[in-house]
Amino acid sequence: MEFISNCTTDAILKAAKALKDGHLVAFPTETVYGLGADATNESAVSQVYTVKGRPTDHPLIVHISSINQISRWATDIPDYAIKLARDFWPGPMTLILKRSDLAKNFITGGQENVGLRIPSHSLALALLTQFESLGGEGVAAPSANRFGAVSPTTSLAVDEELGRNLNDEDLILDGGACIIGLESTVIDCTRKFPSILRPGAITLEMVEESVGRKIDAHTSTSSIKVSGSLINHYSPKARVRLNELAKPGEGFIAMAGIRTPEGALRLASPVNVEEFARILYEALRDGDRVNLNEIKVMYPEGDGLAKAIKDRLIKSSMERESH
Ligand code: TXA
Ligand code: MG
């Protein structure tokens, strides 16, 4: 694996060629780092599953550089999905649409739907544009972590998670710390009305404003599989417990106004909800880096981004059989 910290246009061209040749490229987006592969190359995509240790029936998001690419990957696109795409792409939103023939089972986990996203990070967009100019159709990219673990928001975290599993010709591109820090909002656009499958920085309120109606925050009836909706997700090695004060020797994450309990190790003290989202995963990782057994997190209540933070933290605090 090669780690590239100065992503000049030459480096981006090299990375796009590596993708075309069937290698893996980890790259930054505004949400979290992704582990990219040519979304039309079955063996490259299967390598992504191997490197992550992820079950193969879990679908991957296809990343594209422009709205014109949607119709390559999806059919029967509802008007509200076009509206969402126009309002929030490039950005932290994934649309689940009826797949075209280009979206094979090895991308969709055998489902009839495909997840599409145009990220806004300039390095991600440059890579996708370069890849498409070499004849590529889209880059499949799950978060660049081992299955069940915390998503990486820095290139160092990608290296810690996956570095030893990557091949010599695979790349990790450094583009700094991700500015949002939580995975994209996933919106099911396969029905008459949209519904949110995974909350994120494009909030329920923003989606309702865009489509001009109230929508469901979660559909229990949906048959779509969202791996992040399983338990055992977003978990550091340390045990995470919510809304309790930390004891001596434990890690503590809370808003700046909340004092650190005596003897606890303060891992983060964000001043607002946006900062909480941005630094949460790296703070959990910091707890693992110093081998804490337990991290106590007091999360902010509220709508919008606070809901996405709560969603991830509840999953990361679920009991696990082993880790
Ligand atoms: O912010 C993000 O979305 C990041 C960056 C790299 O783009 N990617 C990401 O990928 O979080 P991943 O694979 O870790 O999570 C993608 C989520 C999963 O919960 C997956 O089940 C869902 O999106 N998803 C992807 N394709 C789908 C499909 N065809 N149908 C239903 N859900 C899908
Ligand atoms: Mg993930």
Model pLDDT for residues 6-22, shown as the tens digit of each residue: 999 999 999 999 999 99
Lookup: tokens for 273: 């909800």
| Contact criterion met (CB below 8 Å) for 81 and 25 | no
pLDDT of residue 323: 41
Q: By the 8 A CB rule, do 224 and 113 touch?
A: yes
- pLDDT band for 219, please (50, 70, 90 cuts): very low
pLDDT band at 216 (very low <50, low <70, confident <90, very high): confident
- Tell me which DSSP letter residue 35 carries: E
Q: How far is the CA of 25 from the centre of ligand 2 (A)?
A: 16
User: Do 76 and 152 touch, CB atoms closer than 8 A?
Assistant: no
CA R_g for the chain: 19
Instruction: Give Cα separations from 88 to 94, 143, 164, 165 (angstroms).
Output: 10, 20, 35, 34
Cβ contacts of residue 59 below 8 Å, gap of 6+? Answer: 107, 108, 109, 111, 113, 114, 115, 225, 227
CA of 263 to the centre of ligand 1 (A): 39
pLDDT of residue 322: 45
Residue 59 CB less than 6 A away from ligand 1: yes
User: Is the CB–ligand 1 distance for residue 224 below 6 Å?
Assistant: yes
Q: Compute CA distances 49 → 122, 144, 157, 162, whole Å.
A: 26, 11, 18, 12
3-state secondary structure of 309: helix
Q: Is the dihedral of CA 119, 121, 123, 129 positive or negative?
A: positive
> Which ligand lies nearest to the CA atom of residue 117 in the structure?
1
How far is ligand 2, taken at its centre, from the CA of residue 154, in Å? Answer: 15
Q: Which ligand is nearest to the CA of 142?
A: 1
To the nearest 10°, report the CA torsion of 175, 93, 64, 119.
-20
| Residues less than 5 Å from ion ligand 2, measured at CB | 143
CA distance 92 to 274: 14
Per-residue pLDDT of 165-208, as tens digits, reads 999 999 999 999 999 999 999 999 999 999 999 999 999 999 99
Query: Partners of 26 in the beta sheet?
Result: 35, 172
Q: What is the bridge-based pairing of β-strands 185-188 and 195-198?
A: antiparallel
**C-alpha distances out from residue 187 to 67, 68, 85, 121, 231, Å:** 16, 19, 11, 20, 20
Does ligand 1 lie within 6 Å of residue 61's CB atom? yes
Ligand 1: which of 35, 65, 93, 94 to mutate, most ligand atoms within 8 Å of CB? 94
Establish whether residue 120 lines the binding site of ligand 1, counting it when its CB lies within 6 angstroms of any ligand atom: no
Let me know: does 248 contact 264? Beta carbons within 8 Å. Answer: yes
Mean pLDDT (the chain) is 94
Strands 251-253 and 265-268: parallel
Question: Which tens digit of pLDDT belongs to each residue from 68-82?
Answer: 999 999 999 999 999
Q: SS3 of 162, please?
A: helix
pLDDT at 222 over 70: no
Nearest CA to ligand 1 atom 6: 34
- Beta-bridge partners for 143: 34
- Classify each residue of 7-40 as buried b or exposed e, where b means 16 or more C-beta atoms within 10 Å of its C-beta: beeebbbbbbebbbeebbbbbbbbbbbbbbbbbb
DSSP string, 238-301: SEEEESSPPPTTSEEE--TTSPPPTT-EEEE--SSHHHHHHHHHHHHHHHHHTT-SEEEE-PPP
From atom 21 of ligand 1, which residue's Cα is the shortest distance away?
A: 226
